[in-house]
Structure 1
Amino acid sequence: MFIDNAKIHLKAGDGGNGAVTFRREKYVAAGGPDGGDGGKGGNIAFLADDNLSTLADFRYKRKYVAQNGENGRAKRCFGKSGEDLVIRVPRGTLIKDVGSGRILADISDVEAQVVLHGGRGGWGNTHFATPTRQVPRFAKPGTPGEEMDVQLELKLLADVGLVGYPNVGKSTLVSVVSEAKPNIANYHFTTLTPVLGVVRIGEGRSFVMADIPGLIEGAWKGAGLGHQFLRHVERCRMLVHVVDVSGSEGRDPKQDFDTINQELEKFDPELAKRPMIVAGNKCDMASDEQIADFKAFVEQKGYSFFPIMAAIRYGVDPLLNKISEMLSKLPPIRRYEPQPAPIIPPEELGQGEVQIKKEDNIFFVEGKWLLQVIRSVNFDDYESVQYFQRVLIETGVIDKLREAGIQEGDTVSIYDIQFDFIE
């Protein structure tokens, strides 16, 4: 079964907690704190697997959780980091945040891509020892790993996409120019799923052709089968529009041509600008006048026209040579860049709930919403740090610290961030 959409839940590993321990050895006086740090939680990454061609596996397993980091131990032993969870998907899969719709990753390359990061391990009490605080009886907990519902969306990687009405000969064309074996029959929607075929036209010259299920009027908004697979055309470097020039099913080939182009434009305006050539199929069933009339119609619109009889491979080689020539001048297959998380204005965050705990003049501040803010801040950038300061002031965190009794010079610890409080 061809499945090209799936929604799953991901949870990266939590960081391990820091340890509160003290060195106790015979003949060693005042050994001091020796609690180790917690281990980092495992990341969640995605890896392209060319042995997979569908997202069907994700219909049965919908929750993926990476391993947590281990807690720190005595004798300054750090906890073991959690193992990364690597999820294999078909090449060309987009990972999107369900909530915002932003693209997290495009799994089209060889390397695995980390999508969710595990939490950092908490500091052991060793880090909190000072000349005036020689027996710190506290440590930092690990931070939780990122958690998110994501949408997996497969967009096939193909150089050339065949588009057109059902039963115009797209599957026949793919079958005679490649090793692909699509279902071929004389009725509509024989092709129920996209079919990829590798076309070789000489030493070192090849390209991938995709047979997209037939489109009909209204496909962009859900009519027929094609609307389910229009997304697979988006990556194609160029399109070949296959038309039945004979009008064997009682339709006007000119109207067919215009209708399908309109459907592509309505689905994605960029598709209307994609390089396209036209293959007029079933020429054996058309008169010379019909072929000449349709050729003039297409060329008037600025497209190259190739009359073919796909079933007997008549006129196919000139078409393939033209495709190869055009591909040599076109940019590579489209890749989607990850979109950064949006910066939320402080006034939209509201008064988020926070927990404040005091340990030896260190004020520990926790709140899930604060953790999300920290992950969007670049602390090496001055403006980003200023944004973080505004968030703390405008959401009332600073006021709550004052209510908790903080004084100038005391330390504030917000997950991975520590700073001295200054009025």
Structure 2
Amino acid sequence: MTQFVDECGLNVRGGDGAAGCVSFRREAHVAKGGPDGGDGGRGGNVWLEADHNVASLLAFKDHPHRRAGNGRHGQGKRRHGAGGDDTIVRVPMGTSVRDQDGALLADLAADGDRWLAAAGGAGGMGNVRFSTRHNRAPAFAEQGEPGEQRWLRLELKLLADVALIGFPNAGKSTLISRISAARPKIADYPFTTLEPNLGVVRTADDFEMVVADIPGLIAGASDGRGLGHRFLRHTERARVLVVLLDLAPVDDTSPVEQERVLLEELGAYRPELLERPRIVVGSKADVGHREPPAGAMCISAVTGDGLPGLIRAMADAVREARADGEAAGRARDVVVHRPVPEGFRVERADDGAYVVVGRAAERTVALSDLTAPGAWEFARRRLQRMGVERALVRAGITSGDTARIGAFEFEYHDDEDDFPTEAPR
């Protein structure tokens, strides 16, 4: 069973906010004690954080759900509930986060990068918050807000200095096993490697670089053939590409043709990959007798011929790429995290209802227990101050039409006294 997972789904849910408390001060020798209900605690957040100690997405393969802690309810004597604990989900460096439609949400490329995946719900306010000169003993409080919940898609793109690319059975696994401590599966048949392998190569002057063995590419890989997309995405962050050409191919494809196909597939997948520093190498020089393209190096990973020169060339290219501020393999996608829009708008639903869309308006009715005496009147006044009723009138609502705010639905009337006094059950 493979222990490397580079793509998975993840369900995240923020903690639920807790309810505020309805309480009144009851002490000896204190006449007419007022409201003293405390606020509920907010729910915890779910964060995704890149961690260099995490190698793959294996932890989410069979257990894709992550949830933060709920807040605690408020209590009497103005005691506020504690907030829920945050949950930090550690993912490998190089993890891209997308929504279910494929839109990029975050790119956690460096160790310590953090992104808010699911926000916790707000805690409800206790009845002490609703005391006014008109209502000195409010008998209602707010409910807690549910935490945000959604499915995400995680994709891992390996962070490597050098990516070895070539046809299946071109000798990539043998090469990385000779120049590093990596021990991939090696056999004399195509597609031996079905998952990327990483190895650290150390030169004589203690220079270190990370080399990735990318599973074999074939014609049509950019269109997804042979799991091409899964393999090609691991080349996106590499600083240097080493194109390995088989000098003794089993299907008699010439080294020149191999290079043409590989570069064509790279360009079709992402044109910018063709601008990366590139080293062309002919492999299996001990058994192959075909001529590599002009300027290509020749090596034999089995006998070791040419390996010192290849390592020097790779190290020089990586040094130059690291020094270059435009190092293509580390370029970060710019992700804009837009805040939740303020205000509200009125839309028409398919059934003809007038729907008020906006977090502030929806929270006004969602967090309030509208069945409690005085709660709907308080919520209605708050909606009026927001301008919700004016917006409904401008949208064309008339007496008898249905209006909807979140899950709360009511029949609108010009006369305020005809507004509903409790939420639908």
Give the shorter-chain TM-score range.
Answer: 0.7 to 0.9
Say how many residue pairs are matched: 375
CA displacement at 1:340 relative to structure 2: 2.7
Name the counterpart of 2:240. Answer: 238
Alignment-derived partner of residue 12 in structure 1: 14
* Contact 2:25 2:33 (C-alpha < 8 Å) held by counterparts: yes
Which runs of no fewer than 5 residues in structure 2 stay unpaired? 322-326, 398-402, 406-411, 418-425
Task: State the match for 1:375 in structure 2.
Answer: none
Cα offsets for 1:3-37 (capped at 9, x unmatched): 22111321111111111211111111232111111
Whether the aligned pair in 1 keeps the contact of 2:347 and 2:356 (CA below 8 Å) is no
Q: What does residue range 86-97 of structure 1 map to in structure 2 within 5 Å? A: 86-97=88-99
Q: Is the 8 A contact 1:102 1:339 kept in 2?
A: no
2:36 pairs with 1:34:
yes
Aligned residue for 1:312, secondary structure, equals coil
* Deviation of the 1:343 alpha carbon: 8.3
Encode CA deviations 1:190-248: one digit per residue, 9 max, x unaligned: 11210000011134411100001101111122322444321111111121100123456
Contact 1:189–1:225 (Cα < 8 Å) also in 2: no
User: CA–CA distance in 2 between the matches of 1:327 and 1:141?
Assistant: 57
Give, in whole Å, the separation in 1 of the partners of 2:346 and 2:254: 58
- Aligned in 2, Cα 1:94/1:406: closer, same or farther, shift over 3 Å? farther
Q: What is the deviation of 1:114?
A: 2.8
Cα distance change on mapping 1:352 and 1:163 into 2, 3 Å = farther
Question: What is the root-mean-square deviation of aligned Cα atoms in Å?
Answer: 3.3
Aligned counterpart in structure 2 of residue 260 of structure 1, from 252, 259, 262: 262
How far is the alpha carbon of 1:107 from its aligned partner?
5.8
Distance 1:205 1:348 in 2: 62
Map 1:69-80 to 2 at 5 A: 69-80=71-82
Corresponding residue to 1:175 among 177, 187, 192: 177
**1:126 maps to 2:128:** yes
Q: Which runs of 5+ in 1 are unaligned?
A: 300-304, 367-387, 408-423
Distance 1:111 1:405, change over 3 A: farther
Instruction: Give the structure-2-normalised TM-score.
Output: 0.78
After TM superposition, the structure 1 stretch with the greater mean CA deviation from structure 2, 102-111 or 152-161, is: 102-111
Q: Matched residue of 1:352: which SS?
A: strand
Change (3 A) 1:120 1:312: same
Tell me what 2:190 maps to.
Answer: 188
**Cα offset, 1:347, TM superposition:** 8.3
The aligned counterpart of 2:310 is 319
- Rounded to whole Å, the distance in 2 between the matches of 1:175 and 1:7 is 32
Output the CA distance in 2 between the equivalents of 1:322 and 1:202: 13
Identical-pair percentage: 38
Distance 2:185 2:94 in 1: 24
Q: Quote the Cα distance in structure 2 between the aligned partners of 1:403 and 1:63.
A: 45
1:340 aligned partner, one-letter code: H
**Conserved 8 A contact 1:116-1:147:** yes
Q: Residues 294-373 of structure 1: matches in 2 within 5 Å?
A: 294-296=292-294, 299=295, 305-330=296-321, 331=327, 333-341=330-338, 351-352=354-355, 356=365, 359-363=376-380
- Assess if the C-alpha contact under 8 Å between 1:118 and 1:145 holds in 2: yes
Q: Secondary structure at the match of 1:229?
A: helix
1:325 and 1:39 map into 2 onto residues whose CA distance is 56
Q: 1:108, 1:395 → 2: CA distance? A: 51
